[in-house]
């Protein structure tokens, strides 16, 4: 596959694409855009290697390198899979029962629900809470699907790099680095949603570059349904969206996650509040900071788990305010610059 060589004006001159430039009025000629290739061959090869490496690690790392008769245990993945069972049974709020250990929005549990129902139909076994055994047969379905979901971010990152005019060589480097991070997130920590959220976010940013604001809003909304932390980036794009469309853009970004979380709260208010607001987490696994000394301890005494919701909320508010302030300053600079050019 050689890939067609094309020109992409928006890739090299995004302001021209969005209509922020005055070249047409001033008589200046826009320089030609660089020639870049649309081929996704490199990204697809890397994504395939990520999937195969994840499957190989799960089934063969412990027997070959640790001389153990067990398969690998990305424990958080089994908790998410248990939440997917609840979704498949029609109880979305059950995704926030204590044994699932989920502390994020339920998008990944919804996506994995068909896999959970198929594994039940085939009478495959899976891990539940503290009950561990060597070969949970549901992994034969779950692990390949998980790795495919996580590997999609490699292709999405390549699409965004292409839209920005990045050279093929650097795009390949980006694919390798993104693939390494997606692999670790999915098969080591058991969180494919952390990669999947960036898949939709990257395609949303591609839509912004074109610009296709309606599509961008829905894509950001799907991303937030998997991992709400991506919402910290949304105010930047809200501020950059066309005037008169900012409210509907924000609605598109939030309506899906609001619906899913609302259904979960309606079915299991205490569990959803505990998971999404209090967010109990062991700080020894999540980079303890001085905030830990101020956080209330939760769950069983001696477990070390703390209430992390307040700290994450404070960090989110600070990051959002900082990003919004920077965006507003940039928008004002652009407006003043356009006025000066038009007067000149």
pLDDT tens for the chain, residues 1 to 344: 444 444 444 444 444 344 443 334 444 544 444 455 667 889 999 999 999 999 999 999 999 998 888 899 887 899 999 999 999 999 999 999 988 889 899 999 999 999 999 999 999 998 876 677 889 999 999 999 999 999 999 999 999 999 989 999 999 999 999 999 999 999 998 999 999 999 999 999 999 988 899 999 999 999 999 999 899 888 888 888 888 899 999 999 999 999 999 999 999 999 999 888 887 766 555 555 555 555 555 554 444 554 444 444 444 444 444 444 444 444 445 555 555 555 55
Q: What is the spatial distance between Cα 248 and Cα 224, in angstroms, rounded to a whole number?
A: 16
Spatial distance between the Cα atoms of 139 and 124, rounded to a whole number of angstroms: 9
* Cα atoms in the 13 Å half-sphere on the side-chain side of 222: 16
Cα–Cα distance, 278 to 307 (Å, whole number)? 5
Report yes or no: 58 and 143 within 8 Å, Cβ to Cβ.
yes
Single out the residue of 187, 191, 192, 255 nearest to residue 221, CA to CA: 255
Q: Is 302 exposed, middle or buried (0-12, 13-18, 19+ CB in 10 A)?
A: exposed
pLDDT number for residue 284: 54
Strands (E), the chain: 5-7, 35-37, 280-281, 306-307
Per-residue model confidence (pLDDT) at position 69: 87
> In 3D, which of 153, 113, 106 has the Cα closest to residue 257?
106
Please state, in angstroms and rounded to a whole number, the distance separating the CA atoms of residues 321 and 259.
Answer: 25
The C-alpha atoms of residue 222 and residue 213 are separated, in whole angstroms, by 14
Confidence (pLDDT) at 14: 45
Burial class (CB in 10 A: 0-12, 13-18, 19+), 29: exposed
**C-beta atoms surrounding 74 within 10 Å:** 24
Please tell me the predicted confidence (pLDDT) of residue 316: 45
Q: What is the pLDDT of residue 7?
A: 44
Q: Are 124 and 97 in contact (CB under 8 A)?
A: no
**DSSP code for 295:** S
Total-model pTM: 0.75
């Amino acid at each position: 596959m050689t890939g067609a060589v094309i020109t992409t004006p928006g890739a090299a001159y995004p302001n021209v694409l969005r209509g922020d430039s005055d070249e047409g009025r001033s008589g200046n000629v826009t320089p030609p855009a660089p020639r870049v290739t649309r081929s996704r061959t490199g990204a697809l090869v890397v994504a395939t290697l990520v999937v195969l490496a994840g499957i190989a690690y799960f089934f063969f790392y412990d027997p070959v390198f640790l001389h153990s008769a067990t398969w690998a245990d990305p424990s958080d993945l089994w908790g998410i899979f248990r939440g997917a069972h609840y979704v498949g049974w029609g109880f979305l709020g059950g995704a926030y029962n204590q044994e699932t250990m989920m502390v994020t929005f339920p998008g990944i549990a919804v996506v994995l629900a068909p896999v959970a129902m198929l594994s039940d139909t085939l009478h495959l076994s899976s891990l539940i809470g503290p009950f561990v055994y060597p070969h949970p047969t549901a992994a034969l379905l779950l692990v390949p699907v998980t790795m495919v979901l996580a590997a999609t971010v490699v292709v999405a990152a390549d699409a965004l790099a292409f839209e920005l005019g990045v050279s093929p060589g650097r795009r390949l480097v980006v694919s390798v680095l993104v693939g390494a991070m997606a692999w670790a997130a999915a098969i080591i920590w058991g969180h494919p949603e952390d990669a999947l959220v960036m898949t939709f976010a990257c395609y949303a940013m591609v839509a912004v570059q074109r610009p296709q604001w309606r599509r961008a809003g829905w894509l950001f909304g799907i991303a937030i349904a998997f991992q709400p932390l991506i919402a910290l980036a949304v105010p930047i794009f809200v501020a950059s969206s066309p005037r008169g469309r900012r409210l509907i853009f924000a609605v598109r970004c939030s309506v899906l996650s609001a619906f899913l979380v609302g259904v979960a709260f309606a079915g299991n208010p205490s569990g959803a509040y505990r998971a999404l607001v209090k967010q109990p987490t062991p700080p020894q696994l999540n980079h303890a900071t001085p905030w830990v000394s101020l956080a209330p301890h939760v769950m069983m005494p001696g477990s070390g788990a703390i209430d992390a919701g307040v700290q994450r909320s404070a960090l989110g508010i600070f990051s959002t305010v900082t990003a919004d302030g920077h965006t507003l300053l940039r928008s004002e600079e652009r407006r003043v610059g356009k006025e000066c050019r038009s007067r000149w």
